């Protein structure tokens, strides 16, 4: 199905075939091995020839043969000796290094007369033979090594335009406008209306650059897409290329990070050159924060390679002719860490923010991804959209896919609403761990813990209503309480934060109250609520005592500008912050404790039901509340609350 093909933008073609991926590393190693074997075989052949191999015999044999008068001459060369027989054959042997031949032979009882009849010739070890035998075994490997090093360094410098050796990494990927399978257009991107409007201008320019140039308009060089992970930045960039029908060269910032110094810069140079030749074209640098972090702060250890790569990108962008028809797009989810030099006019001066999708957009994205999937009659995508606030486009695509997998596993031909609902939780919380069976006591503790969260969330006016409570472990959590707001929230108020903290404390309080003991199960809750309380004091100005001021929470310093600088504040301030955080948590604790004691009957009923059935859905949950004298929240109640 095409839509899922489009989900994988990574497998494009390589830029310009001659520079392509090149023969892979195994082929190269194999070739080196073959060359090496051939060389060593050649060496031993030549050596045998030079040493004109003849039969090797023990020295005692030579001695006997001298005694028998068969040998006419002996040539000594170092420790080896060659005996020439009367029939002109030769035999070789070896003697001890220290002793002279005559000494050795007399040791073998050779008579001096017989020995005198033999012509003994002592040669210096030297000449070609000597040099060949001693030097070649040392020189050849050394030369080979030098050869390989030279070859590699040439490859790495990327000189000569030949890049056969790329360590298995590919260069920029290219999606050409003719590639129907990989082509993406704005139709494939659901929602993101503002971003599309902004980008339409870029599309217009790429389609018809003349119109803009004639009227003297300065053409944008760089467009920076900013947004949370999975919001469709990469997809949108590809869609711009698809809409305009121009080639799309993409490379990811993270690919530069672990490379050798200089490689990144030369790749950038190459990439820009290739793109200019193909103009009009788009160059897309994904995850540009990996190379574009603020330079020279020493944060992250000052990576030379990164700086060089970034510099090269800037140099290339500055070097564009005024009307170069190449547009550089980049994406990041950390615009806050980008080097200001990147954002200067003439560089990435167009910035497009992509928000998480709202309810309508989520429905559209779900619809887009449901195109190739047969949906059953009971499927209502708007309900799924309602239940997935905070999901990104990628999460929703993932959700659809999980649902299809569920249906396929159960051999069904259509997706049902239940498949989708189960997939929400899977995407949100990780897969159920059915193998992780709680023992009786753990089960009870978890049930009361979750009931604690659930009852506080149901009673406090600014907390979100409960959709589901479960004591089946998922991901790291032993159980979970799923609460969802009635509407998407763009802002959060102080009262909501306070109720959230109380809800988080509900589990802890429940354990303490029922078992007079605590487990490690509450530790994640405590982390979350503590950092929320700290943010209220240090970031949002929600503490009356500290007032409307933003602090660097870790050091109690007031923040200025981007928060990197700022005067040191006294210990006193840090202490006051800690005190305020504790105050907030204490008051929320009291509130949550009150709720649980007042509604103990409902609280215990929920816990008991959980031990029995393990998972309670919203309808069932509200019935339990009503039966125990708690009125469930309705959407209208929330809307009529005074603005918090």
Given the complex with Mg ion, which of 264 and 393 has the nearer CB atom?
A: 393
Q: Angle, nearest 10°, between helix axes 600-613 and 571-598?
A: 80
Q: Which of 12, 158, 253, 393 binds ligand ADP (CB under 6 A)?
A: 393
- Of these residues, 77, 444, 450, 622, which one is catalytic? 450
- Nearer Cβ to ligand ADP, position 7 or 386? 7
Closest CA to 573 of 547, 596, 612: 547
Each residue 201-230 as x (binds ligand ADP by CB under 6 A) or -, in order, gives: --------------------------x-xx
- Minimum gap (Å) between residue 419 Cβ and ligand ADP: 19
Q: Rounded distance, CA 619 to CA 274, Å?
A: 61
Q: Which is nearer to ligand ADP, 7 or 432 (CB)?
A: 7
Judged by beta carbon distances under 5 to 8 A according to partner kind, the member of ligand ADP, Mg ion, Zn ion, none in contact with residue 12 is none
Plot region of 16 (φ>0 → left; ψ -120 to 50 → alpha; else → beta): left
Nearest to 489 by CA among 353, 332, 644: 644
Residue 404 CB, shortest distance to Mg ion, in Å, is: 23
- Per CB under 6 A, contacts with ligand ADP among 164-203 are 189-192
Distance CA 508, CA 449 (A): 7
Neighbour tally for 236: CB within 10 Å: 26
CB of 410 to ligand ADP, least distance (A): 24
Q: Quick one: 286 or 500, whose CB is closer to Mg ion?
A: 286
Residue selected from 155, 234, 308, 458 as contacting Mg ion according to rule CB under 5 A: 234
Beta carbon of residue 518, minimum distance to Zn ion (angstroms, whole number): 12
Which letter, b or e, does each residue of 38-63 get, where b requires 16 or more Cβ atoms within 10 Å of its Cβ?
Answer: eeeeeeeeeeeeeeeeeeeeebeebb
Residue number, 366 or 456, with CB nearest to ligand ADP: 366
The residue behind tokens 């003719």 is 178
**242 in contact with ligand ADP (CB under 6 A):** no
Q: How far apart are CA 403 and CA 640, in angstroms?
A: 37
132 within 8 A of 50, measured Cβ to Cβ: yes
Return the number of the residue (118 or 190) whose C-beta is nearest ligand ADP.
190
Cβ proximity to ligand ADP: between 190 and 455 the closer is 190
Q: Determine, following the binding rule CB under 6 A, whether residue 233 of this chain makes contact with ligand ADP.
A: yes
Stretch that binds ligand ADP, among 174-182, 242-250, 391-399, 592-600 (CB under 6 A): 391-399
Interacting residues with Zn ion between 501 and 520 (CB under 5 A): 507
Stretch that binds ligand ADP, among 128-136, 197-205, 389-397, 591-599 (CB under 6 A): 389-397
Give yes or no: 450 in active site. yes
Closest C-alpha among 437, 424, 520, 420 to residue 473: 437
Give how many residues touch Mg ion by CB under 5 A.
1
Residue 507 binds which entry of Zn ion, Mg ion, ligand ADP, none, CB below 5-8 Å type-dependent: Zn ion
Nearest to 332, CA basis, from 199, 221, 226, 254 = 226
Minimal distance, residue 365 CB to ligand ADP, in Å: 4
Residue closer to ligand ADP by CB (options 242, 393) is 393
What is the C-alpha to C-alpha distance for residues 478 and 486, in angstroms, rounded to an integer?
Answer: 26
Q: Is 232 in the site for ligand ADP (CB under 6 A)?
A: yes
Q: Does 93 bind ligand ADP (CB under 6 A)?
A: no
Among 55, 61, 88, 59, which Cα is nearest to 76's? 59
Residue 525 binding: pick among Mg ion, Zn ion, ligand ADP, none (C-beta 5-8 Å cut-off by kind)? Zn ion
- Measured at the alpha carbon of residue 41, what is the angle toward residues 36 and 42, in degrees to the nearest 5? 95
Q: Where are the beta strands (DSSP E) in 287-356?
A: 326-332, 350-354
Say which residues have a Cβ less than 8 Å from residue 222's Cβ, sequence separation at least 6.
317, 327, 328, 329, 330, 342, 347, 348, 349, 350
- Cβ contact 81:94 at 8 Å: yes
Residue 51 DSSP SS3: coil
**Interaction of residue 7 with ligand ADP, rule CB under 6 A:** yes
- Give the residue nearest to Mg ion (CB): 234
The one segment of 79-87, 292-300, 393-401, 621-629 that binds ligand ADP by CB under 6 A: 393-401
Residue nearest to ligand ADP (CB): 393
Note whether 474 and 430 are within 8 A (CB): yes
Q: Which of residues 315-374 bind ligand ADP (CB under 6 A)?
A: 331, 365, 368
SS3 550: coil
Minimal distance, residue 449 CB to Zn ion, in Å? 6
Tell me the catalytic residues: 450
Binding residues vs Zn ion (CB under 5 A): 507, 525
Binding residues vs ligand ADP (CB under 6 A): 7, 189-192, 227, 229-235, 331, 365, 368, 393-394, 397
Binding residues vs Mg ion (CB under 5 A): 234
């Amino acid at each position: 199905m095409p839509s899922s093909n489009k989900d994988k933008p990574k497998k494009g073609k390589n830029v310009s075939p001659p520079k392509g991926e090149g023969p892979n590393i195994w082929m190269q190693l194999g070739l080196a091995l073959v060359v090496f074997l051939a060389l060593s075989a050649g060496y031993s052949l030549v050596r045998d020839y030079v040493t004109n191999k003849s039969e090797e015999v023990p020295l005692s044999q030579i001695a006997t043969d001298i005694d028998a008068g068969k040998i006419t001459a002996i040539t000594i060369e170092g420790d080896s000796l060659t005996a020439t027989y009367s029939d002109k054959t030769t035999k070789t042997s070896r003697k001890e290094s220290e002793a002279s031949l005559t000494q050795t032979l007399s040791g073998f009882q050779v008579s001096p007369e017989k020995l005198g009849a033999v012509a003994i010739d002592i040669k210096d070890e030297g000449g070609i033979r000597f040099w060949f035998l001693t030097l070649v075994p040392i020189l050849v490997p050394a030369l080979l090594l030098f050869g390989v090093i030279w070859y590699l360094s040439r490859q790495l410098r990327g000189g000569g335009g030949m890049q056969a050796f790329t360590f298995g990494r590919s260069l920029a990927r290219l999606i050409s406008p003719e590639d129907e399978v990989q082509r993406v257009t704005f139709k494939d991107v659901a929602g993101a209306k503002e971003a599309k409007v902004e980008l339409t201008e870029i599309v217009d320019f790429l389609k018809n650059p003349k119109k803009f140039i004639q009227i003297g308009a300065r053409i944008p060089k760089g467009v920076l897409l900013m947004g949370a992970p999975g919001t469709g930045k990469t997809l949108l960039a590809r869609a711009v290329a698809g809409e305009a029908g121009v080639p799309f060269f993409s490379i990811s910032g993270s690919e530069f990070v672990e490379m050798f110094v200089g490689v990144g810069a030369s790749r950038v140079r190459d990439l820009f050159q290739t793109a200019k030749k193909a103009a009009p074209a788009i160059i897309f640098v994904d995850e540009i924060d990996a190379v574009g972090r603020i330079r020279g702060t020493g944060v992250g250890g000052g990576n030379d390679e990164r700086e060089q790569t970034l510099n090269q990108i800037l140099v290339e962008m500055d070097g564009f002719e005024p009307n170069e028809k190449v547009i550089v797009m980049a994406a990041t989810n950390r615009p806050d860490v980008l080097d200001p030099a990147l954002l200067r006019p003439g560089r990435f001066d167009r910035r497009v923010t992509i928000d998480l999708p709202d309810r309508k957009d989520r429905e559209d994205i779900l619809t887009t991804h449901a195109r190739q999937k047969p949906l059953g009659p009971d499927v209502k995508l708007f309900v799924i959209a309602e239940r997935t606030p905070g999901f990104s486009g990628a999460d929703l695509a993932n959700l659809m896919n999980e649902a299809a997998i569920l249906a396929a596993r159960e051999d069904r031909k259509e997706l049902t609403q239940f498949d989708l609902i189960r997939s929400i939780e899977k995407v949100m919380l990780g897969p159920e761990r059915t193998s992780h069976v709680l023992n009786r006591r753990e089960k009870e503790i978890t049930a009361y813990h979750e009931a604690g969260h659930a009852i506080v969330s149901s009673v406090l006016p600014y907390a979100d209503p409960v959709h589901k409570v479960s004591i089946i472990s998922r991901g790291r959590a032993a159980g979970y309480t799923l609460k969802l707001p009635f509407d998407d929230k763009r802002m959060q108020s102080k009262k909501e934060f306070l109720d959230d903290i109380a809800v988080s404390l509900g589990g802890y309080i429940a354990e303490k109250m029922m078992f007079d003991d605590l487990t490690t199960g509450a530790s994640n809750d405590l982390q979350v609520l503590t950092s929320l309380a700290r943010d209220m004091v240090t970031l949002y100005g929600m503490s009356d005592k500290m007032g409307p001021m933003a602090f660097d929470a870790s050091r109690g310093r007031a923040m200025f500008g981007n928060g990197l600088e700022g005067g040191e504040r006294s210990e006193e301030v840090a202490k006051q912050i800690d005190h305020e955080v504790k105050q907030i948590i204490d008051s929320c604790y009291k509130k949550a404790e009150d709720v649980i004691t007042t509604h103990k009957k409902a609280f215990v009923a929920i816990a008991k039901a959980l031990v029995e059935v393990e998972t309670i859905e919203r309808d069932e949950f509200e019935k339990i509340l009503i039966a125990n004298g708690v009125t469930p929240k309705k959407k209208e109640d929330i809307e009529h609350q005074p603005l918090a």
